[in-house]
Structures are given as C-alpha cells and as structure tokens.
Amino acid sequence: MSLEDQKKAAAEEAVKYVQPGMKVGLGTGSTANYFIDALAARKIDVTCIATSAASQARAEKLGLKMSNIDDHPFIDVTVDGADEFDSELRLIKGAGGAMHREKIVASSSRFMVVIADQSKQVKTLGKFVLPVEVSRFGVNATAWKIERALKHMNLPTKMVLRQRDDKAFITELGNAVIDCSLGAIAEPEKLDTLLNNIPGVIETGLFIGICGVVYMGTDNGVVELVRK
C-alpha cells in the first residue's frame, strides 16, 4: 500500500468513531483531509470544529456543519494527523504550523485519535524537527532562551526560523515558528515543560498525554495502537 493509501485507510477507520450528534475536532494536513472527506461522505449530523482555515474551508465545501471552540469548548473526538508518534503515543505535530489551534482543540476533546501512515512511527521522538511557535515580539530573545534550554537538556541547538516564500512564516494566529532539529529527544516531558516556561513560547509541537489511539496504515492494513 502506498503511504497515501495508508493515510486514507487510517482515516476511514477513524471515521467509525464518530456517532450522530457528536462535536468533532478536525485536524490539519494531508491525512486529516482524508478524514474530513470520509466524514462528509458518511452524511451524519455532526458539528465540526476546525484547527485551521484550510480544514475549515475543505469541510465547509463538503457540506459539514461547522462551529467553533468558543461555542463548543467540550468536544467529543478530535481526529488529526501527526509528524511522529512513539510507543507511548507521544506526538510531534506542527509541520503545517497549526499546532496551537490543534493542541487547544485536541486537549478540549474527550478523545484524540491520530491517523497516520507507517512512516510516522518512531522509536524515539525527534527524527522530525520539533516546531516551537513563538511570539514575533522578541523572537531573537526567545530563540536564545530556547537554545539555553536545549543545551541544558544536552540536545543539539540546530534551530531555524521557519520561512515561507523568503519571508518569516507566520501562523494563522500571527506567530513565528522556530524549528529545532534535535535527532532524539530522550525526555520529551521535561523538554516540553522547560520550553513552555519560556516567556515568548506560545506552543510546542510536543503533544504528550493527549492522544488516546493511533490508527496507523501499514502494508497489511490498519493497525490500532492504544495508549496504556
């Protein structure tokens, strides 16, 4: 099965979680798009809360009923993709720069389901860059403090300010993103705490203790991984 087919198969499995009347958080990215398509195809009465303008637009176009987190602060299930997950279902997210909205929506959900192809499964988080969303005000000062935290954790300090079209990438919430190439994050919880304590850090791409189940597409079908 191609990776695209694996993403689609995982999305079709996750859609079975959704029951009529539910409030459903919609993730962001190519895998989440397959879920949005599969959910719309089921034609059941649900209310959706999107994590990005792109997901909002796709869901609206397909006729899904949309609302927002302020009107629905308690969500039944959120289904989203990930850049990486480990055996404890700890995630790295944020390649699309939507991690702040994604984390608010996922953590407001009774259940977060991640859908992914098999390339996203890692033994140790950190193969993929760790995105850190930061305030544009004082971005260099915040970057320096992030560097200090990485050094404290004996992690490499390879960091870049994310660019798009030769300009600093700005998230939908108006922030910048610093991508950290760490290789292997031995203590993700500790790193997350350190980073979240830095003034100017809005959000990290680490999602810890949030995801309950991963549906992973593989060459032999979809595998369900449940957090213990």
Applying CB under 6 A, the residues found at the interface with ligand 5RP are 27-32, 80-83, 93-99, 102
Question: Is the CB of 104 or the CB of 141 nearer to ligand 5RP?
Answer: 104
Neighbours of 99 (CB within 10 A): 28
Active-site residue, 102 included: yes
**DSSP letters for 168-199:** E---TTS-EEEEEE-S--S-HHHHHHHHHTST
Minimal distance, residue 190 CB to ligand 5RP, in Å: 22
Minimal distance, residue 148 CB to ligand 5RP, in Å: 26
Rounded-to-integer distance, Cα 186 and Cα 217, Å = 26
Neighbours of 151 (CB within 10 A): 11
Question: Is the CB of 141 or the CB of 225 nearer to ligand 5RP?
Answer: 225
Minimal distance, residue 226 CB to ligand 5RP, in Å: 20
Give 16: exposed, middle or buried? Use CB within 10 Å, 0-12, 13-18, 19+: exposed
Question: Is the CB of 12 or the CB of 145 nearer to ligand 5RP?
Answer: 12
> 84, 102, 133, 203: which is the annotated catalytic residue?
102
Give 21: exposed, middle or buried? Use CB within 10 Å, 0-12, 13-18, 19+: exposed
Minimal distance, residue 11 CB to ligand 5RP, in Å: 10
Minimal distance, residue 21 CB to ligand 5RP, in Å: 26
Question: Is the CB of 28 or the CB of 142 nearer to ligand 5RP?
Answer: 28
Which segments within the chain are labelled E, that is strand? 23-26, 47-50, 65-67, 75-80, 84-85, 91-92, 109-117, 130-134, 158-161, 163-164, 167-168, 176-181, 201-204, 206-207, 211-218, 221-226
Question: Is the CB of 46 or the CB of 112 nearer to ligand 5RP?
Answer: 112
> Rounded to the nearest 10 degrees, what angle do helices 139-152 and 188-196 cross at?
150
Which residues belong to the active site? 102
